[in-house]
Amino acid sequence: MVLKRADNNEFGAKQYSPAEQNAIVIGAGFGGLAAAMRLGAKGYKVFVIDRLESLGGRGSSLIKGGHRFDLGPTIVTLPNMFRSLWKACDRDFDQDVTLKALDPFYKIKFPDNSEFFATSDQAAMRAQVMNFSPGDLHGYEKFMRESKTRYNIAFANEASIGRVSMHRLWDTLKVLPLFGLLRADRSVFQMAAARVKDPRLRFALSFHPLFVGGDPFNVTSMWGLVSHIEKAYGVHCAIGGFAAIAEAMGKIIREQGGDIILGSEVKEITYSGNKVTGVTLTDDQHLNSNLVISNSDPWRTYSDLLGKKTKKRWTERKLGSKRWSMGLYVWHFGTKQTKTLWPEVGHHTILQGPRYQNHVKDIFIRGVLANDMSLYVHRPSVTDPTCAPEGDDTFYVLSCVPHLGHENRVDWEIEKNSYCKKMTAFLEDRLLPGFREKVVQSHIMTPNEFGKDYLSPMGAGFSIEPRMFQSAWFRPHNISEELEGLYLVGAGTHPGPGVPGVVASAEIVAKQIPDCVVKSKQNLVTTGAEA
């Protein structure tokens, strides 16, 4: 049972364990849910609190007219990160969630109408490179080897830098020589441009940071690891969407004895001296705990939830000086009886616009809403029959746009509908002729909605951008230096955005927290430290 509210003002203090055995998780996004699962497996009584009415945060969904609109992530990469999480809870991920491998992963359609299919078939990949630019084959293969090296360092095992805490400066200094050897100071685009000359191949090998809110021309080349992840582990669709994964996570948390409290918002994190004491909700209810994990954005955690506390490091000024990810304009729409139409349009299509570097500058640097666009088109109904009525289709079309922190911020109250018209014309011309007459359901999200619904600073889609000096120690830490007992998970923390990174942040936190050893004696419950 998911609670809307705790049973009494003290959140069941008489029936539950002392504060030392409680753990509070702020936010039911994937970082928060993963942290709750791992702490539940360690024996803690976990309370997950979220202001929304459903699990998953940005990974939740909306149903309109029988069409399920997945509001956040659309693909599962590195499924072993989920399998490892389930294993830590003595569960089997594949028993709870159905994944379907996609092949091809996606199609890129370039302005000249040439197409590139990203696939697990490496012979086919090499053949496509040869077709585009025979002289780039050697460079492509070298790029893929470099991508694998970066993955091995970042995520391959539990000791990889993306799966261990980097809250001490020394932890980052130790790996700087390795970063130097790998030219982590270069961008992903520079990494690609050093190996291939064809501009289409450079795009195909470098656009991936946009999936996690990064400017490919400035994000560290460590994110070049995505190409290897696709090759080695594939790209998958979760039947039922990410909402199905979130529900499966919630089920485990409840089976562990945890409570999930939806429709309740945390107002502040409370403390005594330099130690966490719990949280207070907006209705002034209080829950005691010496252990709080925040899945809220670091900006909100430090500026709002700890607004009264003097900060050692993460001041509002320091956080405000960071470069943030772009905003997102997402148009969800359902079409009537279109299953047999547009047979060449598969699960994922990337429509490249006429510009690449200058358009990216418009989004990230200039803060300008350009007239042209590149689009990510998601058609899950070709793979997952649960997301649309029989014979119909469900679409998710995403355009990267400036966040709301630029001086000349976009007024989405004015631009929302006109931008949709531009998107419609572009889609009809390049991919879906005649689709506008088939649309029966529609839902649009702009940076305004991301700011309002998810409390995203500046309406940014992925929190702090993963640049070189906004990564590892330079990024808000999983172990807070502001309060003992406070931990952070999610896209704005180490190791960074994207579902695998968010799930990894929970793994990092769990490694820092000892098991809760519970012993009963004369109806008195104690922790192992007290026993």
The mean pLDDT of 254-269, rounded to a whole number, is 96
pLDDT confidence of residue 20: 74
Lowest mean pLDDT among 433-437, 465-469, 493-497: 465-469
pLDDT confidence of residue 524: 24
- Whether residue 14 is contained in a domain is answered as no
Question: Same domain for 222 and 250?
Answer: no
Lowest mean pLDDT among 177-186, 380-389, 453-462, 469-478: 177-186
Rounded Cα gap, residues 295 and 489, in angstroms: 5
- Whether residue 27 is contained in a domain is answered as yes
**What does residue 116 show for φ and ψ, rounded to 5 degrees?**
-130, 125
Which among 200, 216, 233 is the end of a domain? 233
Structural domain boundaries, residue 305 = 19-59+78-97+242-320+466-526
pLDDT confidence of residue 358: 95
Is the pLDDT confidence value at 519 over 80? no
Cis amide linkage into residue 104, ω under 30° from 0: yes
Say how many domains are in the chain: 3
Q: Average per-residue pLDDT in the chain?
A: 91
Question: Same domain for 210 and 248?
Answer: no
Confidence of residue 17 (pLDDT cuts 50, 70, 90): low
Rounded Cα gap, residues 41 and 172, in angstroms: 30
Tokens of 162: 């993306």
Question: Same domain for 360 and 442?
Answer: yes
pLDDT confidence of residue 328: 98
Question: Same domain for 389 and 496?
Answer: no
pLDDT confidence of residue 472: 86
The mean pLDDT of 361-381, rounded to a whole number, is 96
Percent helix, strand, coil in the chain (nearest 5)? 40, 20, 40
The mean pLDDT of 114-124, rounded to a whole number, is 95
Question: Same domain for 514 and 442?
Answer: no
Question: Same domain for 470 and 351?
Answer: no
Rounded Cα gap, residues 350 and 481, in angstroms: 41
- Using alpha carbons, list the distances in angstroms from residue 52 to 262, 454, 482: 6, 9, 27
Tokens of 257: 């004895």
- Whether residue 113 is contained in a domain is answered as no
Per the CB < 8 A criterion, the answer to whether 479 and 165 are in contact is: yes
| Type of residue found at 124 | A
- Whether residue 6 is contained in a domain is answered as no
pLDDT confidence of residue 518: 63
Lowest mean pLDDT among 2-16, 266-280, 386-400, 453-467: 2-16
Nearest CA-CA partner of 86 in 97, 99, 75: 97
Rounded Cα gap, residues 39 and 49, in angstroms: 15
Which among 209, 233, 257 is the end of a domain? 233
The mean pLDDT of 373-380, rounded to a whole number, is 97
Question: Same domain for 84 and 183?
Answer: no
pLDDT confidence of residue 18: 66
pLDDT confidence of residue 154: 85
Find the farthest-apart pair of alpha carbons in the chain and give their distance in angstroms, rounded.
Answer: 77
Is the pLDDT confidence value at 104 over 50? yes
Question: Same domain for 414 and 475?
Answer: no
| Type of residue found at 196 | V
pLDDT tens by residue, 66-82: 999 999 999 999 999 99
Question: Same domain for 381 and 300?
Answer: no
pLDDT confidence of residue 159: 82
Rounded Cα gap, residues 293 and 278, in angstroms: 10
CATH number of the domain residue 301 falls in? 3.50.50.60
Question: Same domain for 259 and 189?
Answer: no
Rounded Cα gap, residues 294 and 490, in angstroms: 8
pLDDT confidence of residue 15: 38
Question: Same domain for 190 and 298?
Answer: no
Which among 233, 264, 287 is the end of a domain? 233
Rounded Cα gap, residues 58 and 30, in angstroms: 9
- Whether residue 200 is contained in a domain is answered as yes
Question: Same domain for 332 and 406?
Answer: yes
pLDDT confidence of residue 67: 98
The mean pLDDT of 44-72, rounded to a whole number, is 96
pLDDT tens by residue, 170-220: 777 777 777 777 788 899 999 999 999 999 999 999 999 999 999 999 999
Task: Return the higher-pLDDT residue of 176 and 442.
Answer: 442
Rounded Cα gap, residues 208 and 180, in angstroms: 22
The mean pLDDT of 351-361, rounded to a whole number, is 95
- Whether residue 157 is contained in a domain is answered as yes
Nearest CA-CA partner of 199 in 318, 397, 356, 416: 356
- Whether residue 65 is contained in a domain is answered as no
- Whether residue 70 is contained in a domain is answered as no
**What does residue 69 show for φ and ψ, rounded to 5 degrees?**
-100, 110
